[in-house]
Structure 1
Amino acid sequence: MEIRGKVHEIGDVQQVTDTFKKRDLIVQYAENPQFVEYIRFEATQDRTSLFDNLNIGDEVEVSFNLRGRPWTNKDGVTSYFNSLVAWRVAKVAATSGTSGAQPGTGPQSFDAPPTVDITADNGKDDDLPF
């Protein structure tokens, strides 16, 4: 699956366990400009570097897989979670022609943007496994 939008936030790499790390990317998606959506994508393990050369405000096309899984809490209640797992992120060339970039010309070198903490912890403890 693919979606085009504008980079809204880029998360820090989170080392979840000794062997597992992840990173989030929030993309503004405006299929209907009156109702802008904020879509969270995640990258795991070595793919966390996919977001390194992005800047807030960049127009991007994200290729991703939709994943879902059940999780049962300690009281036996099962919840279902969906994840959008990014496997490719490509910058979309500006239509004004000022950048000189052409679509599909390969990776570009950019300074990494300041990172944004997008954790939703807010001091609350939960028993989710991720």
Structure 2
Amino acid sequence: MSLQVKGKVQQILKAESGVSRAGKEWKKQEFVIETDEQFPRKVCFTLFNDKTSLIEGLSTGEEIEVSFNVESREYNGRWFHNINAWKIEKPASENLPEPPPEFSVGDIPPEPADDETNDLPF
């Protein structure tokens, strides 16, 4: 199941790392956004291992769109949930190229001098 949500970055939490029982190193990074809905909600997303680089360059207050999966697992009779982000994008309005430079009167080329070689009827 793949879902998307838009919102503003509220908080970027401290990165964590460790070693699993199997001896593999892992790292995770969590961040919180506030949604753009009529009743805004705060949602905490988790990035694992190589996906932690997706949060680099973002700062609080930035508008983003997050693609994520929801996952649940049982441990000792209790259920735990993860919201795993796998893609972060800035809205298209922020990805537009810079506008062209302003137009000025100096940008207009001079008119050619009147001479007999101009065969236009007007």
Determine if contact 1:16/1:22 at 8 Å carries over to the other structure. no
Which residue is 1:86 aligned to? 85
Identity of aligned residues (%): 31
TM-score (norm 1): 0.64
Distance 2:9 2:79 in 1: 27
Give 1:12 deviation, angstroms.
Answer: 2.2
What is the letter of the counterpart of residue 29 of structure 1? T
Distance 1:29 1:80 in 2: 25
Secondary structure of residue in 2 paired with 1:89: strand
Matched, 1:23 2:29: yes
Distance 2:9 2:17 in 1: 22
Counting matched residue pairs gives: 91
Q: Taking CA–CA contacts closer than 8 Å with sequence separation of 6 or more, which of the two structures ends up with the larger relative contact order?
A: 1
Structure 1 gap ranges (5+): 73-77, 104-130
Structure 2 gap ranges (5+): 98-122
Distance 1:84 1:41 in 2: 5
Give 1:91 deviation, angstroms.
Answer: 1.0
Distance 2:7 2:47 in 1: 17
Considering fraction of residues, name the structure with more helix. 2
Distance 2:79 2:36 in 1: 26
Query: Residues 89-127 of structure 1, C-alpha deviation per residue, up to 9 Å, x if partnerless?
Result: 001244xxxx6x329xxxxxxxxxxxxxxxxxxxxxxxx
1:67-82 correspondence to structure 2 within 5 Å:
67-72=71-76, 78-82=77-81
Which residue is 2:54 aligned to? 50
Larger radius of gyration: 2
Match of 2:96 among 87, 92, 102: 102
Give 1:48 deviation, angstroms.
Answer: 0.7
Distance 2:45 2:96 in 1: 25
Moved over 2 A (4+): none
Determine if contact 1:28/1:39 at 8 Å carries over to the other structure. yes
